[in-house]
Every structure is written in structure tokens, then in C-alpha cells.
Structure 1
């Protein structure tokens, strides 16, 4: 949108400049340069370069948070923030950041990418080294450019996250089946204790849950499983969590959290 406005400005400036040149030689004085068409040169010389410069800095993103056309419906991967630096541009006091990420894809690929994005001031705390952000990427692209998947639904993000974990060996095919096909329920955390073990970037915990079935009856289950460290504050004793389990098989449950599951 912003790039289109920039080029429309250039086009209007070009037309007005042409009219300015023509009428400048046909005025009563024979050299009537100071006429209404002088807006054309002003647009071309002063306004259009500024707009085009801002458009280049935006890196193809609309200032209203729109998704660049080439990334629309592109696959979603999960990116871990390496660094986030301000570009110097701000739109409505919202800073633009160059976000460097290590990206994992659902097909098991890994690469380093860069997202240039206008970030709301209230969301800056989420863009810090180590944070995980969903991104859209172009398979096979060599430029490393990605876009934050701000247009994706929660279901799309959850599915992409699960597939990335499966590709990295952090989720078994059975756990993926539970996450995708399981019955949704709620559970109370009865006990949780870290074991001190790490599996990749995940902490291994012992957790005991009391799960409510759809008919309001309950069952208890104890599990030994790795979870992302960001999930640990959400599974403290006494907290209620969303879970999934396969109908007729209550031997394993998946704990569901926003944009993550374990």
C-alpha cells in the first residue's frame, strides 16, 4: 500500500511536470513558469524521493501491518530471535526493527533470516533474544528475508509449531496425533517438579495432572516430559491448563499453551 502511494505520487508528479513545462511556454508572457502546474516539479523533487525512501526502508511492509504479497499464504516456520535493532524509522511513534532469527521449518530445514517489521511499543518486550516468533518464509529463497506471521490464525501457528517440533525430534508422531486429533479437556496441575535434565532447549519435568472428561468425571496421570522453559510458569501446582488426549486412550496427554504444546 505505502509503495503504491509512493509510485502514484511519482506518476502524478510526472504528469503535472509535463503540463508545467508545456504551459510555461504558452502563457501570456511566453515564459509563465509560476503557474498551478508547478506542483509537479515539487512532487518529483521533494515529496516523491522521501516517500520512495521510506518505502524502501519499510522493506515492502504496509505501515498498517499488512503482509507483503510474496509472503501471503507462504509456509510458517518458527524463528528464535538472535537480535533486534532499530532501523531509525518510526511510523506513528512505532519503531521499525530489523529482527535477526534462527528459523526452523516443518520440513526439518534451518536457516538464518531477517524480518523488517514495524513493532507496536507494547510488543517490544516480546522481541528479545531467545524469544520464539512465527514467521512466513519462501522455500528455497536465498535472500533470507522472512515476515512475521501476524496474519496467521492460532490454529495455523499451533500446527506449524507442532510440525517443527516433530521435525526436530522434540515431539513423537503419537504426540502429534494427540495434538491434532485429541479430545480437548481441562486439567488441574497437582504436582510439578523439574528434574534438572535438558533435552535440547527444553527442560524435563515430572508433572501430575487431574484431567476432566467431557462427562465431568476425572482421571489422574503422571508424566515425565520435556517442555519449553517458557511454559514452566504456566504449569505450577494449582493452575488449570488445557490438554488433549486420544478418545479411549488416557495413557498420555498433551498440554496445550498459546503457540506451543507439549
Structure 2
């Protein structure tokens, strides 16, 4: 039927309106068979109205329990789903909110070095009104204020921290605790390398520790710690090397040749 686009958002309502127009035209013509045609038109209209309500109801009920599709999903507005979302094809939209976890197994194995384009580190907000929001933090001078070379820590404080090897309790529970989801007695618990957030705090390096909203330590900002703290250690040691080198040079100049 001309003018009806099934892919549009309100195509059922438009179809009902078009049928109403046809009904008016049939009344005007007053054909002998008009009564039966009008009756059929009324039945079709009522069926479409019922179908429209049923589709809306079933859609809401379906989305409240999760959403699964084997094709593509394109959304121009926002998506709020309380259950799981699964799609074998791409999902695109302007925004999306998930109350639970967000997992992308494919992303974990995607080698972006094989893809043309610029890359950047991804940040995630974990507190406040935008918890879970992904984005980036600019590093340009234009985006920063109150810039200073005076750092809130010393190289000695960094050197006072001890790197450690450890295993996560959650990984051990996967192997040893039958009540843990995903329990596997053959699970190999990996050995990890890193620092302890409490050690950094005790040595005055809380600026590298990420905290929960209640103030308890959560994790370590290893990216900043590696880039800034370790660089400060190298700079400090280089200054000491330069001083000692200069002293050796002056001493050697006073020795007989």
C-alpha cells in the first residue's frame, strides 16, 4: 500500500489511519456491497489495534527478561534492559544502560594492531552518577590547570614499596570452593605480580590508589604509577649519579698523572 513503510516506528498506527480513510470513501460511494466491505474493514482495523497493543505488551515483557537476536539491532534512542543482552550480529545505538555486568568475549581476543586507525587508553568511571561510563581523559596542556612540577611524593617513598607475588582469593575459590559459581577442581590458579594498595597508602602514595565511595582502598592506578612514580625514581637516581660523577671527576683531576 502506497505511503506505508513497515520499517517506520508507527507503521501500524498509520495503517489503521489509512483504513479509516478507505472506510470513509466506501461510505461515500455507497456501493451495494459496501456493507460487507465496511464490516471487513472494521474487523481489520480492530485486529490491527489489538495487534499493536499486543506487540507493545509482548515487547516490554520480552525486554524485561532479556533480549536476544540473531541479526542486527539499530537503536536511535536509549536502551535499558534489566536482563541479559545477546546478539550474534552488531548492536548499535546512541546509548545503553546495563544494570549488571558488560562482557564482550570478542573484544578480549581482538588485536587492534591489525586495524587501521588511532588508538587510546579507555577510562571507566566507577563512582558518582555516571558509574560504568567509558571514555577517555585528555592529556593536553589545554585541558589542564594548576600545573606544577612539585609532586606529592618522593622517590624514597616509591622505593619503600615492595613488589609482591600473590594469588587472588577468588581464583582459589574457583578451584577449592564447590559453592562458587564456575567451580572447577582442576582450575589452575594463576600467579600474579603487583603491589598492595595498603602498602602504597602506608608509604604516603595514596595518590596512586583508587578508593571506594566509603574511602576504603579498591585498586591501584598502575598506569599512572608506572609512568609517573617510576620516572621520578629514575630522575632522582640520575641526579645522584650526576653528583657522584662530578665528584669523581674533580678528585681524579687532583691526582698525579
TM-score for the superposition, normalised by structure 1? 0.30
Q: Which of 1 and 2 has higher RCO (CA within 8 Å, sep 6+)?
A: 1
More strand by percentage = 1
More helix by percentage = 2
- Select the structure of larger CA radius of gyration: 2
TM-score for the superposition, normalised by structure 2? 0.31
